[in-house]
Structure 1
């Protein structure tokens, strides 16, 4: 089952004006993603996303969502994302692929990522206006 208006590679997160400035800084983008994901999963910490070993399934799935957002939506390279999350580029590519595939096949996953992306845009604007990048 393929969604007709699915988010497929390489569509980028639509940020208007100055809101894209913190998104260009990988550390600021990762911090914003972690903040948004903590709203969904309060026990999540940035260390869980950077852990070198596989952890709980929730943390692994959210790590793959983070990879998808960094690479597929904010336009960072595989090398930058792999450095941020302590992974190799093949793992990042695989994570992005898995999330992309699930978005194409699951309306619920697509809606979840739409929600996370909307919250991410708000968080990046907040970071910009507070000058925290």
Structure 2
């Protein structure tokens, strides 16, 4: 596939073919986890807990890829790897919250308590 160079950014704009889908997918994980967490807290469906359990590490990976690909684009555009923009900072916060869900799941020995705590953190993370 041939993509012509952008007149302002040159070859740097090609990273958007990776960055935009990865960032869009990463933003979809917290609403999915919040819905599944709410279903688990209300109806105690084990499948909803499995969705939260599986979605958290996947969301963390996609968010890390979005942060990395955005930084690759940013170094050529802004001249620095990171700026404390609201969008970047909120995505970094989302990354830390997803890692928190994964860590909370592994730290608590009681599986029912871990499921409730992860569901609650998923809802709080989505609101945030």
> TM exceeds 0.5?
no
TM-score when scaled to structure 1?
A: 0.29
Rg larger in 1 or in 2? 2
Greater relative contact order, per chain length (Cα 8 Å cut-off, separation 6+): 1
Structure whose residues are more often helix by fraction = 2
TM-score when scaled to structure 2?
A: 0.30
